[in-house]
Chain A
Amino acid sequence: MKIVDRHDEAPGVRTMKLEFQDPADHELFKETYRTGMFGLYGVYGEGESTFCVASPETRKEYIECTFRESGRVTSALARADIGDLVTFRGPYGNRFPLEEFYGKNLLFIAGGIALPPTRSVIWSCLDQREKFGKVTIVYGARTVADLVYKHELEEWMQRDDVELVLAVDPGGESPDWKHRIGFVPTVLEEAAPSPDNCVAVLCGPPIMIKFTLISLKKLGFDESNVYTTLENRMKCGLGKCGRCNVGSIYVCKEGPVFTAEEVSRMPAADL
């Protein structure tokens, strides 16, 4: 796929916009892609790396992906420039069941670099806004600099049909920071969204998910109404290579989207 746009989101975090070279591949993508699915992005000579499709299912003309430069493949992807070709395998995995969210209030909770998978669902819903009730987004990062999609955060902030709660960890604020200071679970409890007729989508590092689930429980959310994505190490994406197993689950086939209820039945030590 060709890189048609790219920009830096935060230190070491970059978004790339990719366009298909082969119309047949693009058609297949349009037929199959639903929000929540992931891909294997690669650079020949370096290998492939797994991350989500960050663009929504309502915009299938391109693929956007956001990644942190942290290993061999992501470093190579970060070196690639506009016009360069990179590889994409996918989309793989299951999806957020958007139809089941129709008519419900939505609560999105994300931490740091986990906003990209959440953003895919957020835009998939905002692009058909009339089908959903109240939309609340709680997003936190370690520092102001680490917040991704700053221009979109600004846009959500301006919208009167979205409530955006932004936070940075204590010490991560800048002198002009006007939003909340605190860890995501605490900020969530302070914001106290109602669990009535509400579905929560939660993405973040394992430790954030662990504590946010406790907060959601305190707020009265049922585990069956909380969705999350497991981002295990994956390689084949086809349920064969054995790398992404959590218990009997192949995350690449049966996930990455699970309800908190499903996750609670998995062996916690494997997560």
Chain B
Amino acid sequence: MIKYISKRIMFMVFVFFIMSLVMFFLYNLIPGDPARAELEPIKNTLTLEEYQRRYESLRAQMGLDDPTIVKYGKWIGGVLQGDLGNSIRYKKPVIDLVKEPMKNTIFINIFAMMLALGITIPLGIICAVKRNSLFDNSVQVGTIVGYSLPPFIIALISIFLFAVTLGWFPVSGMNTPNFKGTGLAFFVDRMYHLALPLFVMTLSSLGGMTRYVRAAMIESLRMDYIRTARAKGLREKVVIYSHAWRNALLPVITLIIGWFINIFAGSLVVEEMFSLNGMGSFYMDALRNQDYNIALAVQMFYMIVALVGNLVIDLSYGLVDPRVRVNR
């Protein structure tokens, strides 16, 4: 087991370096001269020679004349020490800027995930147990509709219905402007603003998850041990929730962890639409303003989350189902 994990971690590190190299080279393809941009505001106060001298020293200082591989070495060295570089737009270290959005994203996603799981797991189980009934068929059609509609359409419709027409919820934002309350009042205000985004995120993840839970449950209900359990005369509830559900848990765990990975990437659209200050809109702002140090840092963060998530999925197989031997 330890051998397997260390092998996987080695692989992860390898992939991370390859990807960071690729991303860094891509980023360096963009034309632009940060040194010139830095000097632009004070250009008029300097003489030509002075400007030229300062420009050259700045270029040397920023390492702009180095070959890309040297630049990459410097950058990755900084990253490994927790220095993600500075934002061009805010003139601040990326690491300080990223904290607040990350907190918000995690906050929102944990709520959305709890809501979604709370609905989909019971729904999937009921559908699997009563499969091919009218209820199941209508849920099936509903889930196809659910996962076929992109989140932004669901968001547009719900903004139109609940925010603009009915006026129940605010259209965007995370808090009432100039909100001064603390503690519970602050929390209530935030939840009031987050209600609509949470609704959209939950709704857009219902379809796929319900189908997944249902499929896993049907698979395990078809097994021989279920027939055995029924033949023994166990109550149906025990058969379903103790015997079948436990065995259906394996793919569901994959789903939950997979979803956890997508937490950071998947809420891009919703954060953007409701102008929430999360990782998604932070990332998109950086891309739009060509603040590539931030974009690169966030991208690397997404990569790490995905790689770690994949490892955790594989390891969780072994924990949930001892029959699965991961160290093939």
A and B: real partners? no
